[in-house]
Chain A
Amino acid sequence: MPFPGRRLVADHTLAVLAVGLVGCGLLAGGLFVVDAGAAAPDPVAFEDTRSVGFASEVSQEIDDDRQIPRAQVFYSQYQYVIGYYGIETAIAAIDDPTRQQQFGYPVATYVTAYDDTGIELDDGTIRTDGYPQWVDADEAVFVAGSGASTPAGPAVVPFADRAAADAFAADYGGTVVGWDALADRPVETDDAAVVREGVDDKRAAADARVDADRPLLDRPVQAELSPGDSVDAAIAAAPNGSAIRLAPGRYEGPIDVDHSITLRGPGATIEGNGTGSVVEVSAADVGIVGLTVTGVGNQTRDEDAVTGDEWDANIELGYGHGDAAIAAVGAPGIHVADVTVPSTPANGVLLRDSPEAVVRNLSVTGTPVWNDGFMGVMAMRSSVVVEDSTFQAGRDGIYLHRSPETVIRNNTFRDNRYGVHLMHTSDAVIADSRFANQEFGGITIMTDPARNAIVGNVVTNTSNGIATSGSYSYIADNIAVDSRVGITTTAVGSLYEHNVVRNNTYGMRTGSVLATSRVWKNDYVDNEYHAGASAGPLRVWAHDGHGNYWQGAYGSATDGHYDRAYVPTDSVDGQLHRSAARRTVAESPVKQGLRALRGAAPGLRSGSVIDPYPQTEPQNPDRLRLSERVVDDGLDALPTNTTMTPTADPPASRSEGQP
């Protein structure tokens, strides 16, 4: 019994076919006539964009977003809307060829137009009554070179209407240009390459800062104390610019250094009474050299502390008022050297509003359980050089809050919660230090600062070896082994190069949906997963035809790299170094067909990493050998620290004359 429908179709085959064919043909043709380019999406609220442009501590200072001309860009192959503080930032990003490769071209760009906002400049800062409106950048006009500025420097101000722009230019100067003309102007940004170039300068600046303290260490000795003498009385009697020598033995604390003198050991111990800070410093250019400090109080915050009404008042209350072996408050230029804090339930050295500080050869030991202790060095609004020091079993080895231009180098950290912990701190250098067994993190940068450099450090057996954040940072020459995550690439617009990650659960792990960093010339060996990817697009980890060395990558090679792209986040590729059988799967035509074009439209893919130019040879052979020894023997495998030099002991006799 034939199915009636079938008969119907059979009877009218021709008509059905004809109608069907014509319909399909029209539809099919129509698909190619329609413009597949995305219709320009409407602007979104700026706070919903992934915004870039300012370090967090700078944007915290801005009390009103209206002060900053902004842009938001919808890219053709990138699903997140990117917001830019500063029109200049947007232009630099759109021009960047790497970004074009990752994100495609801008489908729509909107800028904040200041027409009818009652815009005025208050010493360069933009003040408005109304709210600027989003307008299409192509239709906007811009006033460049007026007096308008933001924390990032001079600012271009957008308007929707030419007349409004002319009026603004008449009042405040500058020239009126269109978007295309603006985009053609060269823009300079402080990108990661600039940070790389600046590392040596910062090292030299740190050297200079340490050297500048030489006179402070050579101060004439005014008094020589014996154990039991009153240190406070001697301080009261000592003139500015003099030194007090403490003979080996015990001295009663707490003491209060309220003018510019130097206290020196070696061998002397200041004993606190178990409450409060032991050595309190409240004057500029004080030297504390060769002392041991005990009996520190156990308060990590002060209920009675009074802070200003700045945005970080609560942070100051939480971290800035604890007890310390040495507490310097409003004491710029303090120099702490050869000091030992054998045990503290609170801070070792606390620096609050004490910039230009130097801490050398300090040794701080916390508590048996880190939760009971606090910071080895707590620096708040105090740029500091910390070098040749040791931090053990505290909460954080070094905690920084708003302490830019800090240099931390050649220190050793063991068994802390965090080794180095940066909050709202930009332009810092963390170099040549060693970290073992940190519970949470070796070097941990939080709160989106900018232009930090992490160079030449070794981290082992830690949860997050090096965790970055913010933008325009330089992470290079580090070794991360035996950790859960070796290095995170959360800092955007940054440069990750010449690092070795070995024997970690994840060698590197992405942490930002913005794929604007350069990751190349790193070595990935013996990791469970060489790389992991969190939310965000496919990241291309190579630059200028040069990728990274991935143990397990294979293929035919030209010019030092394999022709076959390597996908460390792929379930097959990513395990090639651990399983020969995966190689068989990798060679299957289905797998090859699937992966062949993977690099196309990376912005529209998600959660993975590809290296189109995997290198055939390790990029950092010496560092790779060293990393193997660290895996075997821990930090003890590292060469003995030869750069550590105890602060010179000046002549014991009183110097001739006053300086």
Chain B
Amino acid sequence: MTGALAQFKALVGRELRTVARTRVYALLAVGLAGLVVALVAGGGGGQTGYLPAVVDLLLPLELVVPLAAVAVGYRSVVDDLERGELAVLETYDVSPWVYVLAVYVGRAALLAAVLTASLLVSGLVIALASAPDTTVYATHSGVDSPILWGRFLVLTVLFGLVMEALVVLLSVAARSVRAAVVLATGGVLLAAAGGDALIVVGLADGWLAESNLLSALAATPNSAYRGVVFETVIGVAAAGESGYAAPLPSVLGLFGWLVGSLAAATLLLSRRHL
């Protein structure tokens, strides 16, 4: 076990060094933070508070977060494969789960840091910039508070971690870097949009009943993310407004995707290589 631990440590260190060496990730971080701040400013919500800014950001982030996950992780495993490092690691008797987990932790740490930083910066912008239109009257913040922004941040990072796990799985599945781009993009799109599309079709055709809708939403990464944001952030502003999602099953659903993707990646890797 200590051997596995030491291997894991070494591999995570290797991933982090790779991340630190790759300057383009810095560009990604700056770009993402810039985009989020621009959306906050351009949407107008940031002028008055955190909650309206969440309203502005939610849908764009549903698209941007999976894309960022792809950018961070699509080459993670396939690079090792192409460069022969995977074969080298094989000689050290690294077990697949240690390898997959280490790669994932390294990449996920980067994505989480980038998302956290972007949202913290925008949160700071909102804290400094939001103000009532007029000071003629007494004002208060209503239910709006940094706590809501914090919840949004946590949920967004969780959503990012799920997407990253999926990307690592697809990187394991790819046999070349070229294939990896296609696979990661396609796979993430399928997971991000496919589940939602299925729900829409199910509702239209009638085979998805209202009684199963919350479960279906919890089982789809995007819907789970969106639903919990509605439930725990946006819905707070209105009295008695809930039922957008089942928060606990949705969070469990997201963790299910995370763990499931990593488990599948381990399985696939053990069959093929390590």
A interface vs B, CB < 8 Å? 6, 9-11, 13-14, 17, 27-28, 31-32, 34, 36-38, 41, 44-45, 48-50, 74-81, 100, 104-105, 107, 513, 534-536, 589-590, 592-594, 596-598, 600-601, 603-608
Contact = CB atoms under 8 A, between A and B. Distances in A.
B63 A589 contact: yes
Contacts of A601: 51-52, 55, 234, 237-238
Interface stretch (B144-152, B170-178, B189-197, B201-209): B144-152
A36 B133 contact: no
A13 B16 contact: yes
Nearest to A77: B237
B45 to A, nearest CB: 6
Contact of B239 (A27, A78, A105, A597): A105
Nearest to B47: A606
A536 B137 contact: no
Interface of B: 5, 8-9, 12-13, 16-17, 20, 39, 42-45, 47-49, 51-52, 55-56, 58-60, 63, 105, 109, 132-134, 137-145, 147-148, 150-151, 154, 158, 232-234, 236-240, 247
Contacts of A74: 140, 142
A36 B236 contact: yes
A592 B56 CA distance: 10
A11 B48 CA distance: 45
Contacts of A44: 138
18 contacts: A9-B16, A14-B5, A32-B247, A36-B143, A38-B141, A44-B138, A48-B138, A77-B142, A100-B238, A107-B140, A107-B142, A107-B143, A593-B60, A601-B52, A601-B238, A605-B48, A606-B47, A607-B133
Nearest to A45: B138
Contact of A32 (B13, B63, B141, B232): B232
Contact of A49 (B48, B59, B138, B154): B138
A10 B236 contact: no
Sorted nearest first, the 5 A-B pairs with minimum C-beta distance are: A105-B239, A535-B133, A10-B13, A48-B138, A593-B59
A605 B56 CA distance: 11
B140 A41 contact: yes
A532 to B, nearest CB: 13
Contacts of B13: 9-11, 13
Among A38, A49, A513, A600, the most chain B Cβ lie within 10 Å of the Cβ of: A600
B16 A76 contact: no
B5 to A, nearest CB: 7
Contacts of A594: 39, 42-43, 56, 59-60
Contact of B142 (A31, A75, A608): A75
A45 B138 CA distance: 8
A513 B134 contact: yes
Contacts of A104: 142-143, 237-239
Contact of A31 (B43, B47, B151): B151
Nearest to B158: A28
A569 to B, nearest CB: 10
Given A36-B233, A105-B238, A606-B47, 6 more contacts: A13-B12, A17-B109, A31-B147, A31-B151, A45-B138, A79-B48
B94 to A, nearest CB: 16
A601 to B, nearest CB: 4
A596 B60 CA distance: 10
A50 B158 CA distance: 42
Contact of B133 (A78, A590, A606): A606
Contacts of B20: 6
A607 B130 CA distance: 13
B1 to A, nearest CB: 13
A593 B55 CA distance: 10
Contacts of B143: 36-38, 76-77, 104, 107
Nearest to B60: A593
A247 to B, nearest CB: 61
Contacts of A45: 138
B147 to A, nearest CB: 5
A10 B142 contact: no
A513 B142 contact: no
A163 to B, nearest CB: 32
Nearest to B232: A32
A50 B234 contact: no
Given A14-B5, A535-B134, A590-B60, A79 B239 contact: no
A603 B142 contact: yes
Contact of B9 (A13, A77, A589): A13
Nearest to B49: A604
A649 B236 CA distance: 72
Contact of B140 (A31, A81, A534): A81
Contacts of A41: 140
A630 B237 CA distance: 46
Contacts of B132: 79-80, 535, 606
Nearest to A9: B16
Contacts of A107: 140, 142-143
Nearest to A14: B9
Contacts of A79: 48-49, 132, 139-142
Contacts of B139: 79-81
A600 B55 contact: yes
A105 B12 CA distance: 49
A596 B57 CA distance: 10
A15 to B, nearest CB: 9
Contacts of A105: 238-240
A600 B42 CA distance: 17
Contacts of B5: 14
A18 to B, nearest CB: 11
Among B145, B151, B233, B237, the most chain A Cβ lie within 10 Å of the Cβ of: B237
A48 B138 CA distance: 5
Contacts of B49: 79, 604
A37 B232 CA distance: 11
B157 to A, nearest CB: 8
B63 A593 contact: yes
B138 A597 contact: no
Given A17-B12, A600-B55, A605-B44, A36 B105 contact: no
Contacts of A600: 55, 234, 237
Nearest to B45: A605
Contact of B150 (A31, A37, A50, A535): A31
